[in-house]
Chains A and B, each alone.
Chain A
Amino acid sequence: MEHIISVTVENKFGSLSRIAGLFSGRGFNIESLSVAPTLDPSMSQMTIVTSGDERIIEQIVKQLNKLIDVIKVVDLNESDFVSRETALIKVHTRPEDRAEALRIADIFRANVIDSTPATYTIEVTGDPRKIGAIINLLQPLGIKELTRTGRVAVARELIRSTDVPAKKIARE
């Protein structure tokens, strides 16, 4: 099963290669990985999308924790989470296709961020299904280039029925 694992690491030379090396050395799957500094510049936040049965995921989490540079590991699948990915899609547009391309972008609330007489570059953000869907629709026009960020994710804040009213939470 697919799991999204959020990893906080020391923002140090070599941290990324330690994590990449762990996955390749132990034969764990790695579907996507994204890294960027956190608010505290001494740490980086990674989101790793991986897959495996329960035992493998347990090993992945433990092995990540064991790395000296890793500060915190959270398997987001343990609770509810939201995830997003951005794709930049450069499509070929013959004159008769340009309107169609814009229409598709519109349906997905995607933006055209660059345009030439023969291409549009479309930026779309969403969950993997949405990105898959827009790619499917654009494919007949001819996709020239596609780059994806890989997913980032955060756990949802929990609101229990016994919790204080939502308004109060918002003010805190």
Chain B
Amino acid sequence: MKLTGAEILIECLKREGVKTIFALPGGVVLKIFDMLHQQKDIEVVLTRHEQGAGHMAEGYAKATGKAGVCLVTSGPGMTNVITALADAYMDSVPLVCFSGQVPTSLIGNDAFQEADNMGLSRPCTKYNFLVKDVKDLAVTIKEAFYIATTGRPGPVLVDIPKDVSMDKAEFVYPSSIAIRSYNPVYEGNKWQIKQAAEAMTKARKPVLYVGGGVIFSGASQELMELAELTHMPVDMTLMGLGAFPGEHPQSMGMLGMHGTYWANMVMHYSDLVVAIGARFDDRVTGKVSEFCPHAKVIHIDIDPTSIRKNVNVDIPIVGDCKMVLRELIQILRATVNGDQRELRKPWWDQIREWQQANPLAYQQEADGPIKPQHVIQRLYELTKDRDPIVSTDVGQHQMWAAQYFKLAKPNRWLTSGGLGTMGFGFPAAMGAQAAFPGRLVLCIAGDGSIQMNMQEMATAVVHKLPVKIIILNNRFHGMVRQWQDLFYEGRYASSDLETTPDFVKLAEAYGAVGLRASKPSEIDAVLKEAIAVNKPVIVDVPTYRYENVYPMIPAGGCNHEMILEDPPALRNKQSGAGQVAPKDSDTILTA
């Protein structure tokens, strides 16, 4: 039977197991929406902005491990979703984005709401397609899902002109697909793996440096086995958090610019770095020329371009984490005898010393201003038994969340690392909530970031997505303010937001629940109340405005040279600077 392009699209989505899409209509996609309206298998979450739709699809993808799907119209619909595509591209999130396009006969004519969707999306997608004939639509969609979810995952755009959505063709969905020019390598080179195993058994001061690739690959169990077998410390990148349980005695927490003191010391003084699905980002390496000066480097990554892009690698292994780790474990099981613990005892003694010397620390006075770290610590304690999914926005609050919210399992952590997109957190949390309606989904937000996609509260209310937003409200672009304090002599150029909307009233205006904790003593009760509500909630927490994130390796600095606390000049400057609740009369207190 012949189907229209719109019907073919829907049939394809069903065959790909898509249950939810995030979408916003417009002229050229009306046919598609009309068909979506007449079926029950796929839920359409109507967002208030296409950027929201894109981030929701990302949150859905990160939480489920499957491709997220969004649908936008031509022109401004497309340009609005670009940020989310770029974000997904940087963080390797599998996404399939359908965009409407003007009819094929008008392409290139500056038609109404025409944009060069292929040109716009090319640098921020793994691949993109323009479908010029309805006969190609089904195969193209199959290829789009295949490309998005295999190898190093990423976003794929399918641009569908209006006439293609209305024309008819015989519907045949290919059961499998092969693209001659695209053949990701999953199995690692055996000889290289053997070399790696040998280096690992010999090393005295090794470290596992694990990233997002472990999560995409679903290799957490293998990682655990490897870590316990070899008795190595585990450093995680921001994107790798959750790949290894944060409370495990071998977990070093996050490394890098705002990583723990010991995670960075372990890297710097190691004699063997085993990088697994991590890409040596500059927030991790710091000054490349002084990065891990004593170490041999093993790098396991599915994308050859990640290897030797930033640092030299001694044993490169191109392949999928899970498959490579399995082989590695097999070899190690045969060669490692119980002496690894003994061999590495001095290393662990050193590590424990580092951990005691400079633990993560903050001072929360009982009647002082609320410290942001304390809020996250309490949130963690109060929710950890419920296996929550946690999203963040971008800024200081994101770093504190990474430091203090310890994740036990993968696919629980939704954050924007590569692009660092403010406004990511809330829609991403909604996407995860849409995938898992019964789960507890938390969004740790900044007062600046939340205002970038606040409009999606309307979507959350309509679609009953009971995300709990906790705003660490310092009325600053805090991360910017921190850099200004440290590197620009405290000149707060456009970082002071001065006032924020009354988030409690704002939540209520949307039909959600608004709560506020104004004193340290109120935190627990307010958080508990928020968690108990089966509705979207904003918890506004006015925090001490001048708190800084430490440790910190200044950009381009060396990994063992961390700033561990406010330099004296800042400490004095801030004395008496905190206050409990925002007042209209507040001005900058450091002048």
Contact = CB atoms under 8 A, between A and B. Distances in A.
A21 B118 CA distance: 12
Contact of A70 (B119, B181, B308): B181
Interface stretch (B5-13, B68-76, B122-130, B531-539): B122-130
Interface string A57-87: 0110011011011110000000000000000
A116 interface: no
B179 A68 contact: yes
| In the A-B complex, the 7 residue pairs with the closest CB atoms | A71-B181, A62-B305, A68-B127, A62-B304, A68-B182, A25-B123, A63-B305
Given A68-B179, A70-B181, 9 more contacts: A13-B130, A14-B122, A14-B130, A59-B309, A62-B304, A62-B307, A68-B147, A68-B181, A69-B181
B181 A17 contact: no
B180 A17 contact: no
Contacts of B179: 68
Contact of A66 (B130, B304, B308): B304
A71 B303 CA distance: 16
21 contacts: A9-B181, A10-B181, A13-B130, A14-B122, A14-B130, A17-B122, A18-B122, A21-B122, A25-B123, A58-B308, A59-B305, A59-B308, A62-B305, A62-B307, A65-B304, A66-B303, A66-B304, A66-B305, A68-B147, A68-B179, A71-B180
Contacts of B147: 68
A9 B180 CA distance: 11
Interface in A107-123: none
Contacts, number: 35
A160 interface: no
A55 interface: yes
Contacts of B307: 62
Interface in B145-198: 147, 179-182
Contacts of B180: 71
Contact of B123 (A21, A58, A69, A70): A21
A55 B181 contact: no
Given A65-B304, A68-B147, A71-B180, A17 B309 contact: no
A65 B306 CA distance: 13
Among A14, A25, A59, A68, max chain B CB count under 10 A is at A68
Contacts of B304: 62, 65-66
Interface SS of B by simple majority: mixed
A3 B36 CA distance: 52
Interface string B392-429: 00000000000000000000000000000000000000
Nearest to A69: B181
Contacts of A9: 181
A65 B185 CA distance: 12
A79 B143 CA distance: 36
B338 to A, nearest CB: 40
Interface in B223-273: none
Interface of B: 118-119, 122-123, 126-127, 130, 147, 179-182, 303-305, 307-309
A13 B107 CA distance: 14
A58 B316 CA distance: 14
Contacts of A13: 130
Interface in A129-147: none
Contact of A55 (B130, B182, B308): B308
Contacts of A69: 181
Among B179, B303, B304, max chain A CB count under 10 A is at B304
A17 B305 contact: no
A25 to B, nearest CB: 5
Contacts of B123: 21, 25
A125 B304 CA distance: 38
Contacts of B130: 13-14
Contacts of A55: 308
Contacts of B309: 59
Contacts of A71: 180-181
Nearest to B180: A71
A9 B182 CA distance: 11
A50 to B, nearest CB: 16
Given A10-B181, A63-B305, A68 B122 contact: no
A17 B308 contact: no
A2 B147 CA distance: 33
Contacts of B118: 14
A62 B318 CA distance: 12
B127 A17 contact: no
Given A59-B309, A69-B181, A71-B181, A17 B119 contact: yes
Given A10-B181, A14-B118, A68 B305 contact: no
Contacts of A18: 122
Contacts of A70: 181
A55 B312 CA distance: 9
Interface string A5-41: 0000110011001100100010000000000000000
B310 to A, nearest CB: 10
Nearest to A14: B118
A57 B333 CA distance: 39
B336 to A, nearest CB: 33
A63 B182 CA distance: 13
A44 to B, nearest CB: 12
Contacts of A65: 304
B119 A68 contact: no
Among A17, A66, A69, A71, max chain B CB count under 10 A is at A66
Contacts of A62: 304-305, 307
Contacts of A17: 119, 122
A6 B209 CA distance: 36
A164 B303 CA distance: 41
Contacts of B127: 68
A46 to B, nearest CB: 13
A60 to B, nearest CB: 10
A171 to B, nearest CB: 33
A18 B304 CA distance: 19
A10 B118 CA distance: 17
A65 B304 CA distance: 9
Nearest to A54: B308
A38 to B, nearest CB: 14
A59 B304 CA distance: 9
B161 to A, nearest CB: 14
A62 B308 CA distance: 10
A14 B159 CA distance: 13
Nearest to B129: A14
